[in-house]
């Protein structure tokens, strides 16, 4: 497999009245052809801003300070607006969290779906509409031709998300970025959408970046996972290694905080404290105030993301000064 997307040292910050908010602080990762990469973290950890930075869909207050985003070798951060439009919706398809706000309520579904096909693929209107009807059937919306004439309010939440997926897949992108696509949906609808994306991925070979805060969803869909905290990647591993052999205390905390559907009701382990303030670029490990394993070095130096020495699986990296497996019981902090 070859590398499709290679992100190097990406830094994005927001200008605010009091100074800057450092949202993404030197994020690097790779996406290989056909693989599904999950990006996990709590709200405000920079996972969405990272992905929006890739295609420069950022609000005016945000600026990309450094980094490279290589898609098949070409740096997206160096493209001009016209070239960038070719990438957005062409080579990179995106699905967002809230399908209610991502569709235009005044324009019927057909016109919205045909637009990328006309723009990117140079199709005529008739041809684009015919293709759109096919795409609707592909994402499980029967009677596509009739539904194309309908407006977003005539679709349920799950159906709108299917429309979004159909639009994102319309131009056969190489990468599909899904930003919390199931968070706004009920659990039975979530299961439908997850199964749909898996089926589309297996059929078309598209590489998927799946952003979520829900580790349970990750287990079912991802090949590899990166865990983000305070704008840093703190752990990167194959999905099996992450769940069976997590090495960063934050990942351990997240996994312990999950109530499970089987097994006994043990007391949940918690991560004390609250998520960090991003107003400063830390000169220490951003997780140390909440970390039960923190040592002196954590307060003075920010660890880099480095390969785990005795990893059971290839490509397992973590950003932590402490080898948590050497420690028996953590110093419990918080409640």
Partner 1 sequence: MFDRDNPPLVRVEKLTKHFSVRIGAYGETRATVHALDDISFTVQRGETLGLVGESGCGKSTAGLTLLQLHQPTAGKVFFQETEVTGLSDTELRPLRQKMQIIFQDPYSTLSPRMTIGNAIGEPLWLHELIAKNRVQERIAELLDAVGLNPAFAFRYPHEFSGGQRQRICIARALACEPEFIVCDEPISALDVSIQAQIINLLQDLQETYHLTYLFIAHDLAVVRHISDRVAVMYLGRVVEMAPKSRLFSNPLHPYTHALLQAVPVPNPRQERQRQHTVIHGNVPSAINPPSGCRFHPRCPLAFEPCDHIVPEWREVESDHWVACHAV
- Contacting positions for partner 1 (CB under 8 A): 42-43, 156, 158-159, 186-192, 194-195, 213-220, 222, 239-240, 243, 253-262, 265, 267-272, 274-275, 334-335
**Nearer Cβ to partner 1 (71/226):** 226
- Closest separation between CB of residue 225 and partner 1, Å? 9
- Closest separation between CB of residue 269 and partner 1, Å? 7
- Closest separation between CB of residue 42 and partner 1, Å? 4
- Closest separation between CB of residue 229 and partner 1, Å? 10
Residue 276 main-chain phi, psi, to 5 deg: -80, 165
Strands 207-212 and 224-229: unpaired
Q: How far apart are CA 286 and CA 266, in angstroms?
A: 29
CB 231 within 8 A of CB 45: yes
**Nearer Cβ to partner 1 (141/233):** 141
Structure tokens at 70: 């290589």
**Nearer Cβ to partner 1 (7/217):** 217
User: Residues 6 or more apart from 86 whose CB is under 8 A from it?
Assistant: 120
What is the chain's percent helix, strand, coil content, to nearest 5? 35, 25, 40
Longest Cα–Cα distance of the chain, Å, equals 67
Q: How far apart are CA 111 and CA 163, in angstroms?
A: 12
Structure tokens at 15: 């200008």
**Nearer Cβ to partner 1 (62/271):** 271
**Nearer Cβ to partner 1 (176/225):** 225
- Closest separation between CB of residue 93 and partner 1, Å? 23
- Closest separation between CB of residue 274 and partner 1, Å? 5
Which of 23, 21, 41, 35 shows the shortest CA–CA distance to 226? 41
H helices within 185-237, ranges in order? Answer: 187-204, 215-221
Strand order in the sheet with 74-75: 19-32, 3-16, 62-71, 74-75
Using only C-alpha atoms, what is the Rg of the chain? Answer: 21
Q: How far apart are CA 293 and CA 331, in angstroms?
A: 6
**Nearer Cβ to partner 1 (196/319):** 196
CB 128 within 8 A of CB 114: yes
**Nearer Cβ to partner 1 (1/187):** 187
Q: How far apart are CA 8 and CA 26, in angstroms?
A: 8
- Closest separation between CB of residue 213 and partner 1, Å? 6
- Closest separation between CB of residue 114 and partner 1, Å? 25
**Nearer Cβ to partner 1 (118/255):** 255
């Amino acid at each position: 497999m070859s590398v499709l997307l290679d992100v190097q040292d990406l830094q994005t910050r927001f200008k605010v009245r009091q100074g800057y908010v450092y949202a993404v602080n030197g994020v690097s990762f790779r996406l290989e052809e056909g693989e599904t990469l999950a990006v996990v973290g709590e709200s405000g950890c920079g996972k969405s801003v990272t992905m929006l930075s890739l295609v420069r869909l950022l609000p005016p207050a945000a600026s990309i300070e450094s980094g490279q985003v290589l898609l098949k070798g070409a740096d997206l951060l160096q493209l001009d607006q016209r070239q960038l439009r070719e990438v957005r919706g062409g080579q990179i398809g995106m699905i967002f969290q809230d399908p209610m706000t991502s569709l235009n309520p005044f324009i019927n579904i057909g016109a919205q779906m045909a637009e990328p096909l006309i723009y990117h693929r140079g199709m005529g209107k008739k041809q684009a509409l015919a293709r759109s009807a096919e795409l609707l059937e592909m994402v499980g919306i029967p009677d596509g031709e009739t539904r194309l004439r309908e407006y977003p309010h005539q679709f349920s939440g799950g159906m709108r998300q299917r429309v979004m997926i159909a639009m994102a897949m319309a131009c056969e992108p190489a990468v599909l970025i899904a930003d919390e696509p199931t968070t706004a949906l009920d659990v039975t609808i979530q299961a439908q959408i997850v199964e749909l994306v898996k089926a589309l991925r297996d059929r078309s070979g598209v590489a998927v970046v799946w952003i979520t805060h829900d580790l349970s969803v990750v287990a079912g869909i991802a090949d590899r996972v990166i865990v983000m905290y305070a704008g840093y990647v703190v752990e990167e591993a194959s999905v099996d290694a992450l769940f069976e052999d997590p090495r960063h205390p934050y990942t351990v905390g997240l996994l312990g905080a999950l109530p499970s559907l089987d097994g006994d009701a043990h007391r949940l382990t918690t991560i004390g404290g609250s998520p960090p303030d991003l107003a400063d670029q830390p000169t220490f490990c951003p997780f140390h105030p909440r970390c039960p394993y923190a040592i002196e070095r954590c307060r003075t130096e920010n660890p880099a993301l480095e390969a785990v020495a005795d990893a059971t699986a290839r490509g397992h990296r973590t950003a932590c000064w402490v080898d948590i497996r050497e420690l028996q019981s953590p110093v419990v902090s918080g409640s």
